[in-house]
Amino acid sequence: MAKSDGSDFFRRTSLFWIVSVTLAVAYFTCIVFAPEIIPYDYLGPYGTFCRYLVDNHAAVLYKGWWATWAIHLFEALISLRVCSNKGVTNTSTRCLWFFQTFLFGFASLSLLLKHDPKRSKHH
């Protein structure tokens, strides 16, 4: 097996986070852009709370949706900086980190932050 110099280090975030973040963002998107499709009555107290937010704070939800994507973009940009700091120089790998972090936020970025290139080289 070929040894890597760490320039192509990548870890996929866990399936738990992929599913959780995808569902949460999809739900948030529906709440903001298509609130009529949410079955509030079947969601118990959470549905009541969501209906209240939609009926009384739609503008805040809309701004929050955009803020969520802005934060994810900022985290993705940070991932590029962290890649540089940790010696991840392969362009394709850096793109993978950027897009994964843009989509899944800190669930992805935390994997990169935990990476210790000094420790990995000794194995």
- In this predicted structure, the answer to whether residue 2 has a pLDDT above a threshold of 60 is no
Q: Is 78 exposed, middle or buried (0-12, 13-18, 19+ CB in 10 A)?
A: middle
pLDDT tens-digit readout, 84-115? 999 999 999 999 999 999 999 999 999 999 99
Q: What is the mean pLDDT of the chain?
A: 93
Average pLDDT over residues 79-88: 95
**CB-based contact 118:88 (threshold 8 Å):** no
Confidence of residue 1 (pLDDT cuts 50, 70, 90): very low
Question: What is the residue type of 84?
Answer: S
Q: Return the percentage of the chain with pLDDT > 70, whole number.
A: 93
Question: Strand, coil or helix: what is 17?
Answer: helix
Compute CA 80 distance to the chain's CA centroid, rounded to the nearest angstrom: 14
**CB-based contact 117:86 (threshold 8 Å):** yes
Average pLDDT over residues 54-65: 98
